[in-house]
Structure 1
């Protein structure tokens, strides 16, 4: 075995003449030992296949009877792959001629590594489209997943290989297959930013499922900061609910702070989320209906004002709190609409303090009729209104003092 390293290095480097020099004159048993011996975890055939040395592969198989199913440990992109057969190595490295040769000599097209990765998955990982087609044409199983349940289609989506993904979809790869942790091909597109492939999947009836962590593809895009994916999915109202949209915008804002250190970007998405959230909670039509259903002779609020005042002024009062929130955010000041909607319509000659008291009572009554009283947002909304009203009154008093 003193020549083990010499044989290994010659096969690894594609030096056929040197390989023959050390093996041609040896006995069959010696040759068998030398070609099966491992150096740094790999055999001469495994290394020759990985590096695309077809002449060395042919020599080792035909002259030395090297086993095409022997496996070894190889390094790809800094990661050690254990239990890799020659076909897997050639497919991963993009050597079509070597792939073709070993398959013609009856190598197992679905032979896997220790992590259950097939040669087809290896080719999909690095985007070797011609090898993918060749393997499929020679009966490679497109649905064999690795130990994590990750399929060939999923890895093509994650790596952004559009042509491979389209080809696999055309030959009916399962677009809704889930990994061990509930991940789908859509999740992989979202996490990698592959919008074109995502659209392709959706066109072929891919579902927006939730993984075992409760993450949808939309949330996955948001947490990884792929804004173009998140914005596209948000625009698809047929796929995304209003709540999902709000959650995604809030998460995207947090991602901008945490990963991009972009406070202005975060503020943009949080403002969008706030506008959507308050618009959903309190709708104009809900308040209009609440006012319309009041008995004109009844009172609103604990100290109450005649309901007819509210009915007469419903066009002013029926303004969603979301609109007020938007104006306060966008303008950075108390919106005039607050005075118009909640204060002006109730001035009926009563003392100012009493007027304010009734205004708040009426407003609270309306709020509780359209928002669940135990919802966390109800109490915060009441506090918000109170602060606005107090600030407005104090500002008015100061102006009067100046006059």
Structure 2
């Protein structure tokens, strides 16, 4: 370990003399092995290339036989780049002499990282024009895209590197190529505000097209607030009259929500209104939606007089921006629900929780209609509700209405219900989201248990009915944990989502057991909730007794043959003083006797459930 650190630190600091003193006298095979070792995922050669130490890099290649194509993990701007080869590191960091040396030594000019990024793309990202030219001269393929389908031209446009974009186009870059989500280099210009590159692309045959969200570069520029690009596209008449109008309306919404500039927004909306009414014989009308409570029954302006009235009420202006964005972008665009949630958060910060909840539920419904179950955006909305309701309760429990909290619980359970039939086929990402959604649902149950002193008999029945629906789904988390396992496991890695105070574990246990959750359900290690409750990590005698009083078997064994009391820490055994016979039935004693005497029972007792009972003893 010590010699590895010596070599790594010498490469990191560019100390060639120290490297030579340590390595020159060693056998070649040993040296080659040493320089292939990794520290924090990187080899000495990668670090030398990353930091631009040409003398160290060439010594490692020429004298130490370091593999010129070895890959590892390096850090750029706080981001870990995996499977990066030395030439990528040198190109990304702007070290031209190292790039030249590596190519001279035979490095693959088109080698890729884990995300399919090439050295050329790395150089384009940070604007290293001389490296870009050199790599292309030595065979770099300018059309290799990363894992998202983004090309070198696209990243140059997004990062506003005009000289690189010009060079790439001169060397044949495809100006109308699309990423996997359908965006082109024009979209990237529009999002970043690269006016000069947009002019360059248009001069070289770039055309306006839509991405997978139906977004044109014009709409993308309006959403990002880049007025000069909106003006360029509309002045060149690269769009229809309606597209120009909607771009101005979107731009106004952006000035309201992102730039907090209401006066400019009014100016833009007035201009859009004038364009709508430009022809008295054939005005371009808005497609108006029905007023809804989430927007406080607001409707879009259609006249100059209505627009003037907005100027005296900033809150009405904000509702207009939400209405405009939903009408033009549609509910499927991420920005639509994002800004609804953003506006709700602003209300919550000012203490107007009712308006926040109305907007957030509207956004959540929008997401659940459009996205498949377990979508990350939907999960983010549900998590926000957990934080909001727990914050409200930490201030005053009476501020939370049962109807609001219960309605969000039902929507969270829907996520589990909608994915129940495909849990076994979920990929790692969706499986993680599935487990998190279970945790979110349990957090809502905890919040509702906190609210129990204030709810009516009818509401209590509603809660139990919905909890029964959840229990019937039998969702399982990591290691086969049931809902009851997870509740007993709070404080470990399960669902500690209460940001302001302790989870009411006993109350949730009681609720689950009341609606019929099996008390002796086992996880993949054969542990019952009683095992979890007794273990050293949790050691909760009150919870332990709650489970026992609800029928948990004290003598159930896990896969290692241990019963729950075997897991109690020795310094806590006095807390578990109980009469074991009180909780062990004659049936339990019979099962123990069968196992102790190794009496064959499988296929002979008649019932599978009885076989499982004996097996668990």
TM-score past 0.5 threshold: yes
Q: Are the equivalent residues in 2 in contact too, given 1:156–1:164 (CA < 8 A)? A: yes
1:69-102: CA deviations, max 9, x gaps? 0011111111111011000000011111000000
Q: Which has the larger displacement, 54-63 or 273-282? A: 273-282
Higher alpha-carbon Rg: 1
- The secondary structure found in structure 1 opposite 2:82 is strand
1:258-317: CA deviations, max 9, x gaps? 101111111111111111112257349xxxxxxxxxxxxxxxxxxxxxxxxxxxxxxxxx
Q: How does 1:347-362 map to 2 (within 5 A)?
A: none
Residues in 2 aligned to 1:13 and 1:281: alpha-carbon distance in whole angstroms? 73
Q: Are the equivalent residues in 2 in contact too, given 1:182–1:210 (CA < 8 A)? A: yes
Q: Are the equivalent residues in 2 in contact too, given 1:155–1:188 (CA < 8 A)? A: yes
Q: Are the equivalent residues in 2 in contact too, given 1:275–1:325 (CA < 8 A)? A: no
1:370-392: CA deviations, max 9, x gaps? xxxxxxxxxxxxxxxxxxxxxxx
Q: Are the equivalent residues in 1 in contact too, given 2:266–2:307 (CA < 8 A)? A: no
Residues in 2 aligned to 1:282 and 1:168: alpha-carbon distance in whole angstroms? 48
C-alpha displacement of 1:230? 1.0
Q: What residue is the counterpart of 1:347 in the other structure? A: none
Residues in 2 aligned to 1:77 and 1:228: alpha-carbon distance in whole angstroms? 30
- The secondary structure found in structure 2 opposite 1:279 is coil
Distance 1:108 1:254, change over 3 A: same
Q: How does 1:288-303 map to 2 (within 5 A)?
A: none
Q: What residue is the counterpart of 2:43 in the other structure? A: 43
Q: What residue is the counterpart of 1:394 in the other structure? A: none
Residues in 1 aligned to 2:80 and 2:180: alpha-carbon distance in whole angstroms? 22
Distance 1:145 1:31, change over 3 A: same
Q: Which has the larger displacement, 29-38 or 195-204? A: 29-38
- The secondary structure found in structure 1 opposite 2:35 is helix
For structure 1, the 5+ residue unaligned runs are 285-323, 333-403
Q: What residue is the counterpart of 1:152 in the other structure? A: 152
CA RMSD in angstroms comes to 1.7
Residues in 1 aligned to 2:19 and 2:279: alpha-carbon distance in whole angstroms? 75
TM-score using structure 1 length: 0.70
Q: Within the alignment, does 1:271 sit opposite 2:260 as a pair?
A: no
Q: What residue is the counterpart of 1:161 in the other structure? A: 161
TM-score using structure 2 length: 0.46
C-alpha displacement of 1:2? 3.0
Q: How does 1:364-375 map to 2 (within 5 A)?
A: none
Q: What residue is the counterpart of 1:246 in the other structure? A: 245
Over 4 Å off, 4+ runs? 328-332
Residues in 1 aligned to 2:22 and 2:280: alpha-carbon distance in whole angstroms? 81
For structure 2, the 5+ residue unaligned runs are 284-301, 310-617
- The secondary structure found in structure 2 opposite 1:149 is coil
Q: What residue is the counterpart of 1:136 in the other structure? A: 136
Q: Are the equivalent residues in 2 in contact too, given 1:225–1:256 (CA < 8 A)? A: yes
C-alpha displacement of 1:138? 0.1
C-alpha displacement of 1:12? 1.1
Residues in 2 aligned to 1:277 and 1:14: alpha-carbon distance in whole angstroms? 65
Q: What residue is the counterpart of 2:34 in the other structure? A: 34
Which structure is higher in RCO with an 8 Å CA cutoff and minimum separation 6? 1
Residues in 2 aligned to 1:216 and 1:133: alpha-carbon distance in whole angstroms? 31
- The secondary structure found in structure 1 opposite 2:81 is strand
Residues in 2 aligned to 1:5 and 1:93: alpha-carbon distance in whole angstroms? 23
Q: What residue is the counterpart of 1:259 in the other structure? A: 258
Q: What residue is the counterpart of 1:10 in the other structure? A: 10
1:215-269: CA deviations, max 9, x gaps? 10000000011111111112121x1100100110110010000101111111111
Q: Within the alignment, does 1:113 sit opposite 2:113 as a pair?
A: yes
Q: What residue is the counterpart of 2:211 in the other structure? A: 211
Q: Are the equivalent residues in 1 in contact too, given 2:43–2:72 (CA < 8 A)? A: yes
Q: What residue is the counterpart of 1:78 in the other structure? A: 78
Q: What residue is the counterpart of 1:294 in the other structure? A: none
Distance 1:94 1:331, change over 3 A: closer
- The secondary structure found in structure 2 opposite 1:247 is helix
Q: What residue is the counterpart of 2:221 in the other structure? A: 221
Residues in 2 aligned to 1:29 and 1:4: alpha-carbon distance in whole angstroms? 15
- The secondary structure found in structure 2 opposite 1:99 is helix
Residues in 2 aligned to 1:208 and 1:331: alpha-carbon distance in whole angstroms? 34
- The secondary structure found in structure 2 opposite 1:3 is helix
- The secondary structure found in structure 2 opposite 1:106 is coil
Q: What residue is the counterpart of 1:90 in the other structure? A: 90
C-alpha displacement of 1:43? 0.2
Residues in 1 aligned to 2:103 and 2:308: alpha-carbon distance in whole angstroms? 69
Residues in 2 aligned to 1:170 and 1:280: alpha-carbon distance in whole angstroms? 44
Q: What residue is the counterpart of 1:172 in the other structure? A: 172
Residues in 2 aligned to 1:233 and 1:80: alpha-carbon distance in whole angstroms? 38
Q: What residue is the counterpart of 2:453 in the other structure? A: none
Residues in 1 aligned to 2:50 and 2:303: alpha-carbon distance in whole angstroms? 62
Q: How does 1:47-66 map to 2 (within 5 A)?
A: 47-66=47-66
Residues in 2 aligned to 1:242 and 1:78: alpha-carbon distance in whole angstroms? 44
Aligned residues: 291
Q: Are the equivalent residues in 2 in contact too, given 1:144–1:151 (CA < 8 A)? A: yes
C-alpha displacement of 1:202? 0.3
